[in-house]
Structure formats: C-alpha cells, structure tokens
C-alpha cells in the first residue's frame, strides 16, 4: 500500500512584511476563515476545524491546497492580517510568527495531515 507524501509547510524569514493585498490574494482561505473560524460564530476550535474539513472536501479542495501552499511560501504574506481584520476576526495575535503557527494548526494540518 502506498502512502501519500504530506508536503512540509514552507519556511519563511521570521518577519514577513504585511501586504496590502493579503485579503484579496487567497479568496478560498479567506472564505474558510470567515465562515468556519470567525469568533462571532462562537464555535469551539475543534468544531470549527471539523466544519472546515467538511467544507473543504465538498468544495474545491485542490484550489484550497494550492492557496495554502502559496500563502505559506509567500514571504510578503501576512497571516496576522488574514486572521484579524475589518472583515472578520479569527484570532488576534501579537506576532507574525504566532499567526503563522496558528494558521498552520487550524488550516494546514487538518487538510494535509488528514490525507494519511
């Protein structure tokens, strides 16, 4: 039985420069954050992750994977801005590193590590 290879999360310099285009660059990620993880909805993190996984498999999973790979590899992408902005709030963090780690836990792992 062959095992699928799980891509590693791309690494970046520690202090990514926030981009004014963060919100428009990855619409599928933005949609998932706004609908599954918005704090105004009051879902626990575990419930939100399961909802995210179900939504991803019912939608365009390959597009989501591609956006995640590009976002985690982009040196100018701001996870901090993506997680907390005027449109919605998922998690308010103090640093870009903390935002990236949180995004990896709620967005990357449930999709790529779930393929085993």
Does the pLDDT at position 16 exceed 70? no
Does the pLDDT at position 19 exceed 50? no
| Residue 56, domain member (yes or no) | yes
| Residue 96, domain member (yes or no) | yes
Distance CA 106, CA 109 (A): 7
What are the tens digits of pLDDT across the range 26-62? Answer: 999 999 999 999 999 999 999 999 999 999 999 899 9
Q: What is the DSSP string of 19-82?
A: -TTHHHH-HHHHHHHHHHS-GGG---HHHHHHHHHHHHHHS-HHHHHHHHHHHHH-TT--HHHH
Distance CA 79, CA 22 (A): 8
Mean pLDDT of the chain: 85
Gyration radius from the chain CA atoms: 14
Q: What is the mean pLDDT of residues 49-76?
A: 95
Portion of the chain with pLDDT greater than 90, in percent: 72
| Residue 85, domain member (yes or no) | yes
| 104: containing domain | 24-115
Q: pLDDT at position 18, please? A: 42
| Residue 38, domain member (yes or no) | yes
pTM for the structure as a whole:
0.79
| Residue 109, domain member (yes or no) | yes
Angle at 81 between CA 76 and CA 84, to 5 degrees: 165
């Amino acid at each position: 039985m062959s095992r699928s290879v799980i891509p590693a999360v791309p690494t970046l310099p520690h202090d990514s420069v926030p981009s004014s285009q963060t919100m428009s660059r990855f619409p599928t990620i933005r949609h998932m954050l706004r609908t599954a993880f918005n704090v105004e909805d009051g879902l626990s993190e575990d419930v939100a992750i399961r909802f995210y996984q179900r939504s991803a498999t019912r939608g365009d999973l390959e597009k989501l994977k591609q956006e995640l790979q590009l976002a985690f590899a982009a040196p100018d992408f701001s996870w901090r801005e993506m997680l907390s902005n005027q449109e919605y709030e998922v998690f308010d963090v103090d640093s870009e590193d903390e935002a990236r780690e949180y995004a990896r836990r709620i967005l990357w792992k449930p999709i790529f590590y779930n393929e085993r």
